[in-house]
Amino acid sequence: MSGELPDHASRRQQLVSRLRERGISDALVLEALGELPREDFLPDSLAAEAYEDIALPLEQGQTISQPYIVALMTQELHLRGLERVLEIGTGSGYQTALLARLAREVVTIERLPELAESARPRLARLGLRNITYVVGDGTLGHPPDAPYDGILVTAAAPRIPQPLYDQLALEGRMIIPVGDETHQMLLAVTRSPRGLETEEICGCRFVKLRGAAGWPESDED
Ligand code: SAH
């Protein structure tokens, strides 16, 4: 990016090295993360922490995920550039940007209109045009563009939402955290000819997925 601080560029490369050391091995994921300015997705007051491998607060009580988790979830989708991907929880748009770099087409759903509205121009400024933005309840998916080769959910569900499984292509993969505020497991769900197969990736901590096939809209995080 022209005009960016050299400091950010070198810290971004250090972050990529750290992610590689921690076990992220997909070269396409690492390369795309190495070109993505995370500081653009944060309030100015947090820009100095953009390349720490930590989750950081966004507006509306939400969080931008830790880079390691973003990289791991993306790697687990096994993207090769031809896929149509559904993302639930646009948030800052950081994960969306990575998906848009690595897949053919991304549909991203956010329930909070303010977050969706600030993510959209940010992603447009990065030149990413293969993204469809939806404001609404992502637990219901987005049937008009189904089936999806990959589904990535960035908030924790009480169980695998049936509408999302129904919109997964055969041999498609869904990466989703399942659990309550204290215990969550990141799952890879595959729709195989034999039916649903799940694999546990690691423990994790996300905000709650709220909606018809998620946690209730009203209680507190
Ligand atoms: N990928 C984002 C993570 C944001 S946190 C980032 O790295 O910036 C999770 C997001 O999921 C929040 O923005 C929250 O508002 C959103 N969310 C929660 N339940 C949702 C639902 N049912 N549909 C769509 N978005 C939802």
* 3-state per-residue secondary structure call for 24-61: CCCHHHHHHHCCCCHHHHCCHHHHHHCCCCCCEECHHH
Query: What does the pLDDT look like over 157-207, one tens digit per residue?
Result: 999 999 999 999 999 999 999 999 899 999 999 999 999 999 999 999 999
CB atoms under 10 Å from CB of 110, counted, come to: 26
Q: Are strands 105-110 and 195-203 parallel, antiparallel or unpaired?
A: unpaired
Tell which atom from ligand 1 comes closest to the C-alpha of 211. 22
In angstroms, what is the span from residue 3 Cα to ligand 1's centroid? Answer: 30
Q: Is 87 in the pocket of ligand 1 (CB under 6 A)?
A: no
Amino acid 5: pLDDT: 61
Q: What is the mean pLDDT of residues 2-25?
A: 88
Measured by CA distance, the residue closest to atom 13 of ligand 1 is 91
pLDDT of residue 72: 98
Give yes or no for residue 63 CB within 6 A of ligand 1: yes
53-80 residues labelled b (16+ CB within 10 A) or e (exposed)? eebbebeeebbbbbbbbbbbbbbbbebe
By DSSP bridging, strand 168-179 and strand 148-153 are: parallel
Tokens 């919109």 sit on residue: 167
Q: Which residue CA neighbors atom 6 of ligand 1 most closely?
A: 64
pLDDT at 221 over 60: no
Q: At residue 13, does pLDDT exceed 90?
A: yes
Structure token digits, residue 93? 């748009």
Catalytic residue numbers read 65
State if residue 138 touches ligand 1 by the CB under 6 angstroms criterion: yes
Residue 2: which pLDDT band, with cuts at 50, 70 and 90?
very low
Q: How far is the CA of 6 from the centre of ligand 1 (A)?
A: 31
Going from the Cα of 155 to the center of ligand 1, the distance in angstroms, rounded, reads: 6
Gap between the Cα atoms of 130 and 42, Å rounded: 22
Contact (Cβ atoms closer than 8 angstroms) between residue 116 and residue 91: no
For residue range 98-128, list pLDDT tens digits in order: 999 999 999 999 999 999 999 999 999 999 9
Q: How far is the CA of 62 from the centre of ligand 1 (A)?
A: 7
Does 1 score more than 60 pLDDT? no
Condensed to tens digits (0 to 9), the pLDDT of residues 61-89 reads 899 999 999 999 999 999 999 999 999 99
